[in-house]
Amino acid sequence: MKAVLGLEDGSYVHGEGFGAEGVAKGELVFSTQMTGYMEALSDPSYHGQILMFTFPTIGIYGVDLDNLQSSRVWATACVTRSLQEGPRQGLSLMKYYEDQGLSGLTGVDTRMLTIKTRVEGTLRAALIVGSDDAAQAIEAAKSQPALSDRDLIEDVTCPAPYRIPGTGKRVAVIDLGMKQAMIRSLVQRNADLHIYPAGSSADEVTACRPDAVFITNGPGDPERARGAIRTVKGLIGQVPIFGICMGIQICGLALGGRTYKLKFGHRGSNQPVRYKDGSIFITTQNHGYAVEAGSLPEGCSVSYTNVNDGTLEGFEERDLDIHCVQFHPEAHGGPRDTEVHFFDAMFQVIA
């Protein structure tokens, strides 16, 4: 099918559309991962974004439904240099996109688009499948609200509290758009999980008498998650708190710190971080916002730093039992170097 991707700066590229005809809008972001494309596309943190892969070919091993990170694809659209038909047996990515009414673009210069994003910063974009009208695509890109002006968490959080029983420590989870790999990492450690929607109050969360509170990843600007910030403020000092991805941003804001939008974010499975003891870990990441390290109050100490750009990748406040990381230690797909480092340490704290 004809297809065109328009950007808010007035540029555009034509390519071949796949999936369903229509218009898909969102920020154009890139991921450097070489595998795990279905895990990325189904990550709720990509809600409101068009996901472009820098690896030149995706679709090689088809669609692995067992490793989806949620029940659906959340990325608004998929952009790739080349789309493969996939294995002879099993579901191909192209067929999956057709069946699910999703939109994708292939046959474009993703290297050029990635360099443009790194130079100019993240841009709003619109993909039209079934048409090559560049002017319409550019106008659709320009007319959409910025990601920071959108409330996205209500779309991805659980609609009501629920429980996943376990024989170990009781963990209350504030669901801002949780990946399934996080649940697996907690369940593997026998956690008794009580999972709450993003808008739950501190009293609702502590009603289950948790041994710890865990705050998940999620989409959009963390400053828009006002309910979660208010809830965490009410939990500080009452119970140990742990956060991943947006979870660290919510904790930072609840402590009185500040967050800011990165120029083009960190997305992929090859991000190096330096731990406070000097050791280096390779991590999977997916975030466009970060905590401003210098804004954190006295008592907070930096535990991880990004080797590439020096941004904050983790902090802790030991007196209040707050421990957070910006990267994804559960990392599916991607390296799991830090899974034990984070989750085992978490359960040692609450032992």
Angle made by CA atoms 325, 328, 333, in degrees to the nearest 5: 170
Angle made by CA atoms 119, 123, 125, in degrees to the nearest 5: 140
| 330 a catalytic residue | yes
Q: CA–CA distance from 309 to each of 2, 266, 273 (Å)?
A: 39, 10, 10
- Of the residues 245, 251, 300, 324, only one is catalytic, namely 245
Residues 15/132, Cβ–Cβ less than 8 Å: no
Token pair in block for residue 167: 């024989």
What number of CA atoms fall less than 13 Å from residue 40's CA on the CB side?
29
CA–CA separation, 341 and 274 (whole Å): 13
| 208 a catalytic residue | no
- Of the residues 194, 287, 323, 328, only one is catalytic, namely 328
Position of tokens 């990635």?
Answer: 114
- 295's CB contacts (< 8 A; 6+ apart) are 252, 256, 257, 258
| 313 a catalytic residue | no
CA–CA separation, 64 and 294 (whole Å): 42
- Of the residues 251, 324, 330, 332, only one is catalytic, namely 330
Residue 56 one-letter amino acid:
P
Residue 202 one-letter amino acid:
A
Q: Which residues of 297-312 are buried (b: 16+ CB within 10 A; e: fewer)?
A: eeebeebbbbeeeebb
Residues designated catalytic = 245, 328, 330
